[in-house]
A and B are shown apart, each in its own frame.
Chain A
Amino acid sequence: MYMKLMLVVGARPQIIKSAPITREALKHREIELQLVHTGQHYDFEMSKIFFEEMDLPEPMVNLGVGSGTHAWQTGNMMIKLEKTIIKGKPDLVMVPGDTNSTLAGALAAIKRNTPVAHVEAGARSYDMQMPEEINRRLTDHCSSLLFTPSNKCVRNLQGEGISKKYIRLSGDTMYDAMLQHLPTAAKSGVLRKLGVDKDLYGILTLHRPENVDTAETLRGIMKAMMMLTDLTVFFPVHPRTRERLAKFQLLNQLEATSHVKCVDPVGYHDMLWLVKHAKLVFTDSGGLQKEAFWLGTPCVTLRSRTEWTETTRQGANVLVGSNSRKIVAVTRNIMAQRDIKSRLRKLKNPFGDGQASKKIIAETLRWR
């Protein structure tokens, strides 16, 4: 049966999660794919480059919402998305992830009586201070079709009284994306560009408000990095983080530290390759915890909670918060374990078999 499927993306991680779904949907003639970009990503140019890098078709529409407060952004996106839904008349609105675009897409759809499918449903950190946690939870409770990346996520949803009949264990489309893009990543030449040797460096990414918006927290993390003198740390600096580092007078100090290399943000392929060959990853991002896990690279998570407990449970990911002594101690411990990467590569992957997008599209068509 013919089906109009509207896929709503906005922020960068959603574009990654959607790439394999888009690819799969385009294989089916019975699906009319309506790709909608909310423009939540602050920089239009950057997001265009990103679309191209992920090999995504031009979106049907870019709502150009731009940055603002969370509430303003959500409200504004809802208004514009509703108009898009009225115009596109989709049979199903699919929203991946946990951003404001995800929630706005889900809300706009249910307000028009259009069913919602949530990709990456059921992830929970149980930390209500994280805006993403609210977005995830509310989106799940708007949805008639919930695609979960793991069994743990299925259990989380059932614990909230969501009936099994709406839940589909699909696996994680981020894993699909990684498998599909690794061959291109292998050709990125990023190690040569940066002049580093395999397995001799660490990667740091940092963007969460609770880490970068308070001087004390940001200083704690930076202090730890400066203390790790025997490890070269590549730090692709998010524009927002750079601004805060300058504001808190940390940027000069950091740039004067020879073993910490502040570099411009890197693309998806370069990042995959950098993570694959890193000794370890320091991050406060959600997706990177999983990517490090799949690539067998130890992950030190600069947060106190995570929605991906599948990775911490198997010991591949450690939550350290922002305390510098703790970060340094955990890092030294990891660095002392010589065969750690080969051991991590043998761990069981609870996030599916790389066919999540296929299952999602097949189930979507069957559901119809």
Chain B
Amino acid sequence: MEVSLIDSRCMIVVGTRPEIIKMAPIIREFERQAFPYILVHCGQHYDYNMSQQFIEELELPKPDYGFEVRAYSPGVQTGRIIMRIERVVRAEKPRIVLVEGDTNGVLASALAAVKLNVPVAHVEAGLRSFDLRMPEEHNRRLVDHLSKYLFAPTETARRNLERESVWGQIYVTGNTVIDAVAQHMPLALERSTVMSRIRFKHFALVTAHRAENVDDFSVLSNFVEAFSEAPLPVVYPIHPRSRKRLRQRKMLSRFAEAENVQLLPPLGYFDFLVLMKNCDMIITDSGGIQEEATAPSIRKPVLVIRLSTERPEAVEVGFANVVGVEKERMLKAMEHTVNEKAKLPRTSPYGDGTAAKKIVGVLREVLQ
């Protein structure tokens, strides 16, 4: 039986850019199957317009509802999003609310839904860093414990959920990030001109944005030292805040002197995809990039400049290596990766790019 009646609608909530990227394949699958849905964009005020633009760039449909939440503290932010999302859920009466990831917006949206007795489906369920100092760890865990449908990207994630005896139904689907890379890479290669600006043929691509790294000056100066002495050229799209901090401490000039370091302003998603495709290795503290690097059209070794990861699968199969933030260990790991030309697996531990299809399939089934 086909479900196309209005009362079988799902509500998809997105907020930050990573959520938009990972939800994009699901939105496209809803479109492809002509399955009814409502798209809600709830953003934080400082990047709301950017996210809105990003939705257009990815050629996704315009959200049915969009609102930005001005808040300077996480509690107020979470509280306000609960109240805003509640109004939408009450007006639209969706059968399921679909959220992705682990931000305060995700927790707030899920809470609003569950408080109105609307079942929640969590995409990318079961991730755990077991580090409760990360606010995302609380958000993930709470959303998993209030969701009725849990879409775990991997068997590891499923085991995490089973160990916590979540009450919802678990489905292992793969991660939609792999679908997303496959769908977005052609667009990126067509539109991005970033490679014409890169001075090197072979290089390591660096991203660092986590507060515990870039807000800690001793860590940041480790980065400067390590990258300046790196065994291969380094391309580093640097956040203006980190750049400013380096200049204040007179460290920026070290980068300027180092011939093998090219600093770039922050890059768009498409430029970044193209750089990932063309680099020799990726050095990052981001979670999502550890996954993207394993996509067939990228396939690059990753050095994780953090102390822990909630994505152990890439480490287990040999794509990633958690190297911490000490200069010597970072350098050693870079050398090792250059010399060994790490033999990377053919397939991604995060699925075969059919996660969105599986997720929408489950949603259709449970709604029938």
Closest to A103 in B: B111
Complex CA gap A161/B76 in Å reads 30
**Interface check B245, CB cutoff 8 A:** no
B-contacting residues, A156-178, CB 8 Å? 159-161
CB distance from A319 to the nearest CB of B (A): 20
The answer to whether A134 touches B114 (Cβ under 8 A) is: yes
What residues of chain A lie closer than 8 Å to B115, measured between beta carbons? 69-71, 74, 131, 134
Contact assessment for A82 and B146 in the assembled complex, using a CB-CB cutoff below 8 Å = no
* Residue in A closest to B89 when the chains form the complex, CB atoms: A71
Interface string of A127-145 (1 = CB under 8 A from B): 0110100100110011010
A72 near B78 (CB under 8 angstroms)?
no
**Binary interface encoding of chain A residues 56-88 relative to chain B, with 1 for a CB under 8 A from any of its CBs, else 0:** 000000000000011110111111011001100
Question: When each residue 91-135 of chain B gets 1 if its CB lies under 8 Å from chain A and 0 otherwise, what string results?
Answer: 000000000000010001001101111000000000000001101
> Does any Cβ of B come within 8 Å of A153's Cβ?
no
A114 to B61, CA, bound (A): 40
Bound CA–CA A134/B116 (angstroms) = 12
Main secondary structure, interface of A, reads helix
Q: Quick one: which of A70, A78, A85, A160 contacts B116, CB cutoff 8 A?
A: A70
Q: Chain A interface: which size bin?
A: 20 to 34
Residue from B75, B89, B114, B138 in contact with A108 in the complex, judged by beta carbons closer than 8 Å: B75
- Tally of B interface residues using CB under 8 Å: 35
The yes or no answer to A107 lying at the interface (CB within 8 A) is: yes
Question: Which B-chain residue is minimally distant from A108 (CB atoms)?
Answer: B75
A112 within 8 Å of B by Cβ?
yes
B163 at interface, CB cutoff 8 A = yes
A161→B165 contact, CB < 8 A: yes
> Which A residues from 111 to 132 make CB contacts under 8 A with B?
111-113, 126, 128-129, 131
A138 and B111 alpha carbons, distance in the complex (Å): 10
Is A250 interfacial (CB-CB < 8 Å)? no
Distance of A269 Cα from B259 Cα, bound (Å): 81
Chain B interface (Cβ < 8 Å from any Cβ of A): 73-76, 78-83, 85-86, 89-90, 104, 108, 111-112, 114-117, 132-133, 135, 138, 141-142, 145-146, 148, 163-165, 167
What are 12 sample pairs from A and B whose C-beta atoms fall under 8 A apart?
A71-B83, A72-B86, A75-B79, A75-B82, A75-B112, A78-B82, A79-B75, A107-B75, A111-B74, A138-B142, A141-B138, A161-B163
